[in-house]
Structure 1
């Protein structure tokens, strides 16, 4: 059963999370931070130009392993699921069921 916690996520929350997804709106810094804490980071950006910019900047900064794709973050990245953590950068009206389905057993979902 999902639980709720208040406060800011810390590196402890992400410890031992191997595969994470970010649903982003220009979340370059966050994707880079998650890349330091995880083996695999998948970032979804709805605006094509921002996705391309994110891809380019992350690669220039040495984060070539962060995968960036253009798309609706609320649909997730089903072909790469399950994710140990899913990080939202915006508050959804309700949690998309597609993302719940892509969360690994004992995974965490961080929603602002």
Structure 2
């Protein structure tokens, strides 16, 4: 597992990683208590989410709301998912019979989910169709000393075939149906976690690859921005 060190007064970071006031450790701990009340049980994940400075993945004007149980705008008409969604999607990967080594993420955004995955899995390849997100995401990963993330400006619908197959795929925006291209890039027993549906009719879904194709099971109702094709 990749770890990172949070030190006060870190000179190479433009952010206060430890946080103060509404971004302090006390506020983060309250977020963890809410996650436990909402059914998140994996202790390793909860410990990690208590430590990750979620506030640095938002613009400064919104950073004081980072540990509330809400989704928040990050620009380009995209959002940072609420903590429970990040936790549940990640926990579903941790429930796999064998922990994935190589994970493909569709939708880097500001990088929070990427950082969580990076700290739990050996290799993370993250695709983002909006080029404007990537420079600051890279700065955040450097500040957190995360070195196992490979970023690409690419169409998430196409996946990243040159590094396939993947043990797991996590999609952070909602396609209308499960993309066959992404299913094809799963390993023989791989799992994909994604929201599926349009408008208000979306379901968090687990897709499991098997010898005869794949199976899908619905986890919970969710609301994500739509997964769009192409790059900008």
Query: Normalising by the residue count of structure 2, what TM-score does the alignment of the two structures yield?
Result: 0.43
Q: Distance in 1 between matches of 2:193 and 2:184?
A: 15
Q: CA RMSD in A?
A: 1.8
Structure 1: stretches of 5+ with no match in the other structure: 1-6
Structure 2: stretches of 5+ with no match in the other structure: 1-84, 196-232
Relative contact order, CA 8 A, sep 6+: which one is greater?
1
Specify the SS of the correspondent of 1:95. coil
Find runs of 4+ consecutive structure 1 residues off by over 4 angstroms.
Answer: none
Matching of residue 43 in structure 1 with residue 106 in structure 2: no
Matching of residue 74 in structure 1 with residue 157 in structure 2: yes
Tell me whether 24-33 or 34-43 shows the greater mean CA deviation.
24-33
Matching of residue 13 in structure 1 with residue 95 in structure 2: yes
CA offsets 1:28-85 (integer angstroms, 9 cap, x no match): 1111111111110000000112123222321221112201110111111111111111
Matching of residue 107 in structure 1 with residue 207 in structure 2: no
With over 3 angstroms needed to count, the CA separation of the structure-2 counterparts of 1:36 and 1:79, relative to structure 1, is same
CA contact (8 A) 1:27 1:89 kept: no
Partner of 2:137: 54
Tell me whether 85-94 or 48-57 shows the greater mean CA deviation.
48-57
Matching of residue 63 in structure 1 with residue 149 in structure 2: no
Partner of 2:107: 24
Specify the SS of the correspondent of 2:152. strand
Q: Distance in 1 between matches of 2:134 and 2:154?
A: 9
